[in-house]
Amino acid sequence: MSAIIILLVVSISVASLFLFAFLWSVKSGQYDDELSPPLRMLFDDKPKESTSTKQ
């Protein structure tokens, strides 16, 4: 029986963790702009000198 109670506490706390993660992600504005972050990660930051060496 005590095992069930421990499991109960664990499962609800894990679920609450996800709930707070979700609420935090909404609050921090991660859903405000869903277009630019996936594009942003594709840009390579190159040093200023290496221009027009592409293709």
Partner 1 sequence: MASVTAGSTTTCAHCGESCTTNDLMWTDKHFCCDGCKMVYQLLQKNGLCEYYSLNNNPGINQRKQVRSGKFAFLDDAEISDKLIQFKDSSQVHVNFYLPQMHCSSCLYLLEHLHQMEPAIIQSKVNFVSKEVVIVFDPSQFSIRKTAELLTAIGYEPYISLNDLKERKSKFNKALIYPLGVAGFCFANIMLLSFPEYLGLEDAEKQLQGIFRLINVLLSLPVVFFSATPFYKSGWKALRHGYLNIDAPIALATIVTFIRSMYEVTTGTGSGYFDSMTGIVFFMLIGRVLQDKTYEQLSFERDYTSYFPIAVTVLTEEGEKPTSLPNIKNGDTIKIHNEELIPADGILTRGKALIDYSFVTGESVPVLKEMGEIIYAGGKQTGGAIELLVIKEVTQSYLTKLWSGDQFKETETSKRHSFVDALSRYFTVGLFSLAIGAGIYWWLNDPTRMWHVISSILIVACPCALLLSNTFTNGNILRIMGRKKMYMRNAMAIEQLSEITHIVFDKTGTITNPKEQEIHYTGKELSHNQIKQLISLAAQSSHPLSKSIVRYFGQYSPNMSVTGYQELPGKGIEGFVDNELVALGSKSYITGQNDKYDPSTQVWIAFENTAFGYFTIQNKYREGLPQLMQDLGRNYKISILSGDHSGEKNRLEKMIPKGSHLLFEQSPQDKLSYIQSLQSKGEKVMMIGDGLNDAGALKKSDIGIALTDDSNNFTPASDAILEASQLKALPQFIKLSIANKRIVWTAFIVSIIYNSIGLTIAAKGLLSPMVAAILMPASTISILLITFGLSNVAGKRLFTNH
Q: Name the residues that contact partner 1, by CB under 8 A.
A: 1, 4-5, 8, 11-12, 15-16, 18-19, 22-23, 26-27, 31-36, 39-40, 42-44, 46-52, 54-55
- For the bound state, the minimum distance from the C-beta of residue 36 to partner 1, rounded and expressed in Å, comes to 4
Q: Tell me the one-letter amino acid at 22.
A: F
Q: Which of 21, 19, 14, 20 is nearest to 6 (CA)?
A: 14
CB of 35 to partner 1, least distance (A): 4
Where b means 16+ CB within 10 Å and e means fewer, 32-50 reads eeeeeeeeeeeeeeeeeee
CB of 51 vs partner 1, minimal distance in Å? 5
